[in-house]
Structure 1
Amino acid sequence: MRAEPADRAEQVSQLLFGECYTILNTQGNWLQVELATDRYRGWIDQKQHTPVTAAYFQEWKESRHPRVLDLLQVVKGQEAVIPVGIGNYLPFFDGQHLRLNEQLLQFNGRAANAEAVSPVAELVQVALSFLKAPYQWGGKSVFGVDCSGFVQQVYGVCGYQLPRDAYQQVEAGEEVHFVAQTQPGDLAFFSNAEGRIIHVGLLLENQQIIHAHGEIRIDTLDHQGIYQQDRKRYSHQLRIIKRIING
């Protein structure tokens, strides 16, 4: 998904397999879309568009869909084998098949239960699955992910829908006032010199934080911010910590 209808335009986010969206506008071969999950907007090339019926779209919006748990798996159809990664959607999955419009596709991998809200331990395990994934601005997959895309996908796999960007995510949950009071699964937000939220990471045990900075990595959090032991310096200035769920 791009900021403008052009291949050279900034990537602002990504569409994952199985996601639905509304078309807002067209310009040449480009479609401006709004995701049904978080209402995020961007432009996609028309070649990436797969139309669905109005009935399917409505049913999709009214349902909760399992997400892929394996780092990489495939969905098999009669004419194609489609790679899918962790966090991708499995619409109307019955344990063996998923449905895209009227087409049934087979999936034999691990899927998160769409109806269950996972405990904190599972949230942390999903986060750790992304370790060493490369940083990519606007990315939401294990092949390239940014800080807020990482947090959104980890929570999404575990049954929580968060907004797309860090400045939106900071509005969720309740404030944790001291770093020493943090729990695994808490979110720490970081600001620039102007006070704007520019980064987010997920807390682990012992004030460790997993976040996207060059890659998905684990560093230490204190009252000042993120300290990178390997570089002997702080990389981000702490602004606020929020608790989305209680462990």
Structure 2
Amino acid sequence: MQYGVCNLSMVPLRLEPTDKSELVSQVIYGDFFKVLEQRKYWSKIRLAFDGYEGWIDNKQYQDIDESQYASLDTSSPKLSIDLVEFIQDEKHQLHPILLGTSLNALSILNHSHDGNIVEGVLSKNNLIETAFLYLNSPYLWGGKTPFGIDCSGFTQMVYKLNGYKLLRDASQQATQGEALSFIEESEPGDLAFFDNDEGTIIHVGIIMRDNYIIHAHGKVRIDRLDHYGIYNVDKKSHTHKLRVIKKII
């Protein structure tokens, strides 16, 4: 088995081994993974954090050995809490990193960092404050950063920054936690999931106080939540149909 770690701020994870393929997620600096298949230009990987699989360009990661992978896998995550920061390499060159970046691989990559970090499990009360860090970030299918993020990437990163693990896609996240019967039972930080006409979970957002929800739709935005679904305050119409509310923590 081969292993790798992302040594760039953010690189695309694609459905197929080509630059023209769909972006299914993003690999952020410090993310580490198993290499399932390696070709001349591309590698199929499985991310350690959430088990998500896809193809990454061989030029956009660094090989590590099994002991380094194991060390990263057992260490408590240290995450950058700055919107944009820099790490410095051994040549004193600066490399940008983004909000939610894992800094556990700094020594493996011979990099240094002196920005703000967060680690450990934080209170559920902190989730909404973290979510506001992404407010107005543009929507990007497969995105996980403040410069482009999708609905489940948003919820995953907010929970990650508070020490909790969510799976990658909305349909996967909907399998986690405890289902609630009514909106009135929910607390700020719980997740609301929404389906399409075929009953497939296609959207997720984070519940706030007083029947508001923060979610990524066009951008990370705040809308109303009722028993039918999300009521878009700009369009003055419902945009998503509520399926289930989950208490993750």
The TM-score normalised by the length of structure 2 is 0.92
Cα deviation digits, residues 9-43 of structure 1 (max 9, x gap)? 00001101101011111233111011011110000
Matched, 1:137 2:141: yes
Structure 2: where are the runs of 5+ without partners? 1-12
Residue pairs, 1:69-148, within 5 angstroms = 69-79=81-91, 80-91=93-104, 98-101=106-109, 103=110, 105-113=111-119, 116-148=120-152
Give the alignment's Cα RMSD to 1 decimal: 1.1
Contact 1:182–1:207 at 8 Å: present in 2 too?
no
Measure the CA separation in 1 of the matches of 2:99 and 2:46.
22
Higher-strand-fraction structure = 2
2:54 to 31, 35, 42: 42
2:44 to 2, 7, 32: 32
Contact 1:77–1:106 at 8 Å: present in 2 too?
yes
Q: What displacement does 1:134 show?
A: 0.7
Which range moves more in the overlay, 151-160 or 63-72? 63-72
Measure the CA separation in 2 of the matches of 1:107 and 1:68.
9
Q: What displacement does 1:152 show?
A: 0.5
Q: 2:228 is matched with which residue?
A: 224
Q: 2:78 is matched with which residue?
A: 66
Matched, 1:183 2:187: yes
Q: What displacement does 1:85 show?
A: 1.0
Measure the CA separation in 2 of the matches of 1:72 and 1:231.
32
Q: What displacement does 1:110 show?
A: 1.4
Name the aligned partner's letter for residue 224 of structure 1: Y
Cα deviation digits, residues 21-66 of structure 1 (max 9, x gap)? 1111123311101101111000011110211122111111111211
- Partner of 2:72, secondary structure, is helix
2:207 to 187, 203, 207: 203
Alignment coverage as a number of residue pairs: 236
Residue pairs, 1:2-17, within 5 angstroms = 2-17=14-29
- Partner of 1:149, secondary structure, is helix
Measure the CA separation in 2 of the matches of 1:188 and 1:51.
38
Structure 1: where are the runs of 5+ without partners? 93-97
Q: What displacement does 1:4 show?
A: 0.3
Q: What displacement does 1:151 show?
A: 0.5
Contact 1:66–1:89 at 8 Å: present in 2 too?
yes
Name the aligned partner's letter for residue 77 of structure 1: D
Matched, 1:22 2:34: yes
Q: 2:168 is matched with which residue?
A: 164
- Partner of 1:13, secondary structure, is strand
